[in-house]
């Protein structure tokens, strides 16, 4: 800082400190007696986050910013926490709510919130959410109504949520005052995380922007133009779909040419696209209508269309006669339309390795087998037969089976700390991000692990379609 600040000034640049609230196991390692200021959940156990009302935590935070601003001439600070209030903690993060420390209990008394009623409400809601998450079906009458009922029976839950956001605001005020006392010109701003701007409905309701204007010179809103959609889906909507929105389908009703109906689940396939996969078995016109949990969502609900299925003109038996199934008498394979199928297979154990070149050699061999009357070709996927895992002879376009690991982030978009185990201790591995759109590769360095250690991806993929390739050197 001593070197950076004057060098930045010389170039006409400003320098802002970013202070992010510590929490979790990491904070414990770096902050002495951190345990002392942790929140207490409704069962009296410690949570991983510090209590906003704990005077020692407030003292530590304001002391830290005083120290920073009296030591260095920063132009300003961006201060904030990324965590939800008690309702969001339960709903989105499946975590127990707080806080019931003596300072919070005093606050409850001051605000006329009965601590026993609040605790009973937390028990009721937490148990209800747990039951929903493990149940196969939603409860009779629907999950959402039962959820609302708990809120009506225990309005203390909402009152306390509101007070949690007030406590957050008061803490910001303390930090603001502490810095302004030292340097009135320093710009104090609030970091507003993506959970606050986009995802957590309790946060959006509990922390209005206009209120933030009172004790901040600026607010820094995290919009995350690319990652918000996937995060909203994987962190929040899935969690709600497992709990209070349980049993609310996003699916498609298909009416077949013979008038019969099928319900096909649709799935979210990135950004604003929902997709369904459907294999038609009859010729004719199919009609479909989409059905969404939110009937008011015109983009998803009630979309209609038709699909025309015409007879196959090619000679692909699967298209002409339908997929394979077992005959009714259980003695042979047949197509869906009843045409018998004779399984005569040729095995190409190395068919998926570099030993068989695509397309020339592959197609030549396939044509040959077809002419000879074979109906099936079998491949070994992963390790080819007769060689040891990691043998060079198994190499194909994706590397050597068992030696190259490809990690797709589709299910875990935006998770920079994606961890993997199962590596051979002492071996050197090389990690590279691969961008399938451009073909660019980004070296992530090598790593060696000890027994039982896990590998953490050093940086999150820029886009969810990036693939992490791990090679043994």
Q: Which residues bind Zn ion (CB under 5 A)?
A: 51, 53, 99, 101, 104
CB nearer to Zn ion: give 88 or 414: 88
Minimum CB distance to Zn ion, residue 171 (Å): 12
Q: How far apart are CA 203 and CA 43, in angstroms?
A: 23
Nearer to Zn ion, 86 or 351 (CB): 86
Number of alpha carbons in the 13 Å side-chain half-sphere of residue 64: 16
* Minimal distance, residue 397 CB to Zn ion, in Å: 56
Q: How far is the CB of 125 from Zn ion (least distance, A)?
A: 19
Collapse the DSSP code of 286 into the 3-class scheme (helix H, G, I; strand E, B; otherwise coil) and give the result: strand
Our CB check for Zn ion shows the closer of 99 and 292 to be 99
Cβ-based nearer residue to Zn ion, 95 or 216? 95
CB of 156 to Zn ion, least distance (A): 16
50 or 230: whose CB is closer to Zn ion? 50
Whole-number minimum distance, CB 91 to Zn ion, in Å?
20
Tokens read off for 427: 């071996």
- Residue 126 is inside which H or E element, if any? helix 115-134
- Across the strands, what pairs with 255? 261, 287
Q: How far is the CB of 39 from Zn ion (least distance, A)?
A: 5
In the complex, the smallest distance separating the C-beta of residue 101 from Zn ion, rounded to whole angstroms, is 3
Smallest separation (angstroms) from Zn ion to the CB of 157: 16
Pairwise CA distance, residues 432 & 438, whole Å: 14
Residue 438 CB neighbour total at 10 angstroms: 7
| Distance in Å, CB of 61 to Zn ion, minimum | 15
Measured from the CB atom, is 57 or 466 closer to Zn ion? Answer: 57
Helix (H, G, I), strand (E, B) or coil at 54: coil
Indicate the residue among 162 and 286 with the shorter CB distance to Zn ion. 162
Confirm if 160 and 99 have CB atoms less than 8 A apart. no
Q: Which is nearer to Zn ion, 99 or 171 (CB)?
A: 99
Contacts 24+ apart (CB under 8 A), 90-93: 90/122, 90/125, 90/126, 90/129, 91/129, 91/202, 91/239, 91/240, 91/243, 91/244, 92/195, 92/199, 92/200, 92/235, 92/236, 92/239, 92/240, 93/239
Round the CA-based radius of gyration of the chain to a whole number and report it: 30
Nearest CB to Zn ion, comparing residues 111 and 149: 111
Distances from the Cα of 473 to the Cα of 32, 353, 424, 446, 461, angstroms: 41, 20, 12, 9, 22
Nearest approach in angstroms of CB 93 to Zn ion is 18
The SS3 of residue 418 is: coil
Provide the terminal-to-terminal Cα distance of the chain, rounded to the nearest Å. 39
Report yes or no: 365 and 379 within 8 Å, Cβ to Cβ: no
The least distance separating Zn ion from the CB of residue 179, rounded to whole angstroms, comes to: 24
Closest CB to Zn ion among 97 and 230? 97
CB of 167: closest distance to Zn ion in angstroms? 8
Nearer to Zn ion, 57 or 455 (CB): 57
- The secondary structure of residue 392, as a DSSP letter, is G
Rounding to the nearest 10 degrees, give the CA dihedral for residues 164, 225, 439, 428.
-10
Do residues 60 and 9 make contact, with C-beta atoms less than 8 angstroms apart? no
User: How is residue 271 written in tokens?
Assistant: 């950004």
Nearer to Zn ion, 46 or 335 (CB): 46
Give the H or E element holding residue 65. Answer: helix 55-71
CA dist 32 to 26, 27, 447, Å?
12, 9, 31
Phi and psi (nearest 5°) for 364? -60, -45
Let me know: does 95 contact 129? Beta carbons within 8 Å. Answer: no
Residue whose tokens read 């070197």: 3
């Amino acid at each position: 800082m001593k070197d950076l600040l004057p060098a930045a000034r010389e170039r006409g640049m400003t320098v802002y400190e970013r202070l992010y609230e510590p929490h979790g196991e990491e904070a414990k390692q770096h902050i002495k007696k951190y345990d002392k200021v942790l929140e207490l959940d409704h069962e009296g156990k410690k949570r991983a986050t510090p209590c906003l009302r704990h005077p020692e935590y407030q003292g530590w935070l304001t002391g830290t910013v005083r120290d920073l601003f009296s030591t260095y001439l920063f132009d300003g600070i961006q201060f904030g926490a990324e965590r939800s209030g008690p309702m969001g903690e339960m709903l989105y993060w499946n975590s127990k709510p707080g806080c019931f420390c003596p300072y919070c209990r005093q606050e409850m008394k001051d605000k006329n919130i009965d601590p026993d009623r609040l605790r009973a409400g937390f028990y009721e809601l937490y148990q209800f959410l747990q039951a929903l998450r493990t149940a196969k079906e939603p409860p009779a009458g629907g999950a959402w109504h039962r959820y609302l009922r708990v809120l009506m029976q225990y309005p203390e839950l909402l009152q306390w949520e509101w007070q949690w956001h007030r406590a957050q605001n008061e803490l910001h005020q303390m930090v603001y005052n502490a810095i302004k006392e030292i340097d009135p010109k320093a710009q104090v701003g609030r970091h507003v995380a993506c959970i606050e701007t986009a995802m957590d409905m309790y946060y959006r309701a509990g922390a209005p922007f206009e209120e933030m204007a009172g004790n901040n010179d600026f607010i820094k809103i995290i919009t995350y133009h690319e990652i918000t959609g996937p995060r909203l889906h994987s962190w929040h909507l899935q969690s709600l779909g497992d709990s209070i929105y349980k049993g609310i389908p996003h699916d498609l009703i298909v009416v077949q040419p013979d008038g019969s109906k099928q319900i096909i689940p649709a799935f979210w396939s990135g950004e604003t696209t929902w997709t369904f996969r459907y294999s038609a078995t009859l010729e004719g016109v199919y009609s479909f209508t989409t059905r969404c949990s939110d009937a008011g969502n015109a983009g998803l609900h009630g979309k209609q269309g038709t699909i025309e299925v015409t007879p196959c003109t090619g000679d692909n038996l699967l298209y002409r006669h339908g997929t394979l199934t077992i005959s009714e008498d259980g003695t042979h394979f047949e197509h869906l339309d009843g045409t018998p199928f004779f399984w005569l297979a040729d095995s190409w154990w190395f068919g998926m390795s570099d030993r068989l070149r695509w397309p020339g050699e592959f197609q030549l061999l396939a044509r040959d087998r077809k002419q000879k009357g074979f109906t099936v070709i079998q491949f070994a996927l992963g390790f080819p037969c007769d060689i040891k895992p990691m043998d060079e002879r198994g190499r194909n376009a994706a590397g050597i089976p068992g030696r190259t690991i490809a990690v797709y982030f589709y299910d875990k978009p935006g998770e920079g700390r994606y961890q993997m185990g199962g590596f051979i201790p002492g071996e050197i591995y090389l990690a590279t991000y691969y961008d399938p759109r451009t073909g660019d590769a980004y070296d992530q360095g090598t790593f060696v692990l000890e027994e039982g250690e896990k590998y953490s991806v050093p940086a999150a993929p820029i886009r969810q379609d990036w693939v992490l390739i791990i090679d043994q050197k």
